[in-house]
């Protein structure tokens, strides 16, 4: 018979064994749970979609494999697209028939169709986003682009303007053109221009190339003499006329030194608020070994509010090219003239228009309508970009629907599956359409909001100048 002590020992051993077995079972159960949990996550990772139904994400998706292979740049063409699309659809059907698709659902089919045949949405959306709203033709009479001038600048009182006129008196200016002698014509036009300057404008007149002759022995003399014959001050008819009579055309062409000379004088007499302009009349290239383009760049860097405007008077191709580069480097404009009429038009009208109050009146009269026309023009340009996107979007859906029709007719899918796939494709198209509409509307708003701000600026100009 088992003693009480022995029974207790046996009971303890039995409970210990049972506890160990229970612990093992719990441990195994946890392992099973962990395995099931891991297995449950795997399908989620494998079925992550490689396409999206969100507009912003669709824009970032790459073009489909078969789209890239067969269509690409032919997408927006009229004569090549249809054949390319047929080739892409045909190859898709050939490939899909070689796969086991019996267990595919609508989502798997949609994924297969989309990743093969989708267009690159960014190709047609990015040009819309990058479209620059710029009213390039709307320049103020002083040459600045209206869009680049702040309302604060337009609200300021009429600023002081310093104008340096440089006249080329090299020997070639003795030649005649239709209407008279080049030097005489230049002097006459510059005088008329100076007479028209407003009370807030100071003018100086400097001459270069008027010393010595065009011979080699006189080169140093001619190239080293740039003379201010009328110092910077308000226009005085008597003194200015006398200044014009002090020189004649005779020597070389130190254009670079003349620009440096004018820059130095303007900088010494102008404040940060003063608008400064250099006007040049020349009929040839630099002949004194200087670099007038670099001189213009340096002057513009030294005086940020400076403009260098140049008239090329009866110039050859080489001079035309160089003078144009000089004006561009100096932030100004270049015009080539051939005769008295063109010279008068440029100096007495166009130069004056950058400074004259009368010009403001003339400018303001037409530019409200110009703003409206420019807005319409940009809106039409944007519409062309929008049409490209719409074409791409519609053709993409047509390709995919063509595949759906073939899948159904070849009994690869049934009608219910075809309907479910179609719903996904149309949802995707609607998503990119809504997104594109937002992008386009934002750009259209920018065009017309900018137009409204420009009209407000014009109103400020009218008020400030009491026109």
What average pLDDT score do residues 113-138 get?
93
What's the residue count for the chain? 467
The predicted structure's pLDDT at residue 457:
76
Q: What residues have CB less than 8 Å from 115, skipping those under 6 apart? A: 50, 51, 64, 65
Asked if pLDDT for residue 40 goes beyond 70, the answer is no
Could you tell me the CA-to-CA distances from 467 to 217, 233, 365, 384, 464 in Å, in that order?
A: 57, 27, 10, 39, 8
Coil, helix or strand for 184?
Answer: helix
List pLDDT tens digits, range 205-228. 999 999 999 999 999 999 999 999
When pLDDT is cut at 50, 70 and 90, the band that residue 355 belongs to is low
* Distance, CA of 421 to CA of 335 (rounded, Å): 64
Could you tell me the CA-to-CA distances from 300 to 62, 267, 271, 303, 336 in Å, in that order?
A: 46, 11, 15, 5, 22
List pLDDT tens digits, range 298-333. 999 998 778 899 999 999 999 999 999 999 999 888
* Distance, CA of 192 to CA of 170 (rounded, Å): 22
The predicted structure's pLDDT at residue 333:
87
List pLDDT tens digits, range 50-85. 899 999 999 999 999 999 999 999 999 999 999 999
What average pLDDT score do residues 18-27 get?
43
What average pLDDT score do residues 42-51 get?
51
The full set of domain ranges for the chain reads 53-130+367-466, 159-355
Asked if pLDDT for residue 22 goes beyond 90, the answer is no
* Distance, CA of 24 to CA of 257 (rounded, Å): 99
179 and 339 Cβ atoms separated by less than 8 Å: yes
- Rg of the Cα trace of the chain? 40
The predicted structure's pLDDT at residue 268:
92
The residue to which tokens 């405007």 are assigned = 309
Domain 159-355 in CATH 3.40.50.410? The answer is yes
368 and 455 Cβ atoms separated by less than 8 Å: yes
Mean pLDDT lowest among 58-67, 123-132, 263-272: 263-272
List pLDDT tens digits, range 153-180. 655 544 678 999 999 999 999 999 999 9
The predicted structure's pLDDT at residue 258:
96
Which residue spans within 299-392 are E strands per DSSP?
Answer: 306-313, 334-337
Asked if pLDDT for residue 252 goes beyond 90, the answer is yes
Report phi then psi at 143, rounded to 5.
100, -15
The predicted structure's pLDDT at residue 367:
67
């Amino acid at each position: 018979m088992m003693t009480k002590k022995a029974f207790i020992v046996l009971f303890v051993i039995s409970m210990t064994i049972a506890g160990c077995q229970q612990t093992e079972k719990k441990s195994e159960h946890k392992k099973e749970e962990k395995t099931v949990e891991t297995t449950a996550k795997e399908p989620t990772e494998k079925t992550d979609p490689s396409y999206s139904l969100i507009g912003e994400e669709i824009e970032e998706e790459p073009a489909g494999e078969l789209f890239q292979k067969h269509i690409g740049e032919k997408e927006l063409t009229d004569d090549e697209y249809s054949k390319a699309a047929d080739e892409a659809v045909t190859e898709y059907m050939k490939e899909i028939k070689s796969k086991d698709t019996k267990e595919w659902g609508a989502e798997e089919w949609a994924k297969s169709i989309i990743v093969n045949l989708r267009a690159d949405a960014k190709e047609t959306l990015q040009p819309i986003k990058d479209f620059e709203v710029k009213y390039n033709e709307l320049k103020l009479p002083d040459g600045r682009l209206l869009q680049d001038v702040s309302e604060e600048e337009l609200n300021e009182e009429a600023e002081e303007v310093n104008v340096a006129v440089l006249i080329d008196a090299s020997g070639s200016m003795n030649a005649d053109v239709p209407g008279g002698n080049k030097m005489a014509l230049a002097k006459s036009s510059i005088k008329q221009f100076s007479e028209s300057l407003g009370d807030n404008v100071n003018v100086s007149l400097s001459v270069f190339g008027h010393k010595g002759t065009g011979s080699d022995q006189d080169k140093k003399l001619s190239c080293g003499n740039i003379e201010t014959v009328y110092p910077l001050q308000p226009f005085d008819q008597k003194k200015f006329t006398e200044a014009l009579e002090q020189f004649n055309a005779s020597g070389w062409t130190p254009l670079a030194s003349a620009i440096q000379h004018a820059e130095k004088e303007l900088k010494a007499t102008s404040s940060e608020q003063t608008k400064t302009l250099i006007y040049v009349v020349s009929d040839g290239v630099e002949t004194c070994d200087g670099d007038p383009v670099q001189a213009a760049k340096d002057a513009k860097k030294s005086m940020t509010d400076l403009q260098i405007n140049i008239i090329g008077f009866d110039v050859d191709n080489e001079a035309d090219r160089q003078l144009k580069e000089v004006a561009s480097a100096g932030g100004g404009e270049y015009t080539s003239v051939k005769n008295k009429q063109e010279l008068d038009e440029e100096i007495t009208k166009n130069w004056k228009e950058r400074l004259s109050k009368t010009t403001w009146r003339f400018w303001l009269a037409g530019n409200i309508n110009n703003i409206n026309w420019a807005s319409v023009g940009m809106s039409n340009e944007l519409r062309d970009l929008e049409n490209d996107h719409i074409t791409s979007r519609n053709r993409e859906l047509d390709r995919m629907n063509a595949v759906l029709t073939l899948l159904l007719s070849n009994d690869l899918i049934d009608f219910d599956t075809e309907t479910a796939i179609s719903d996904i494709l149309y949802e995707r198209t609607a998503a990119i359409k809504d997104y594109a509409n937002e992008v386009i509307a934002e750009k259209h708003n920018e065009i017309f909001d900018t137009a409204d701000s420009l009209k407000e600026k014009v109103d400020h100009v009218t008020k400030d100048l009491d026109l």
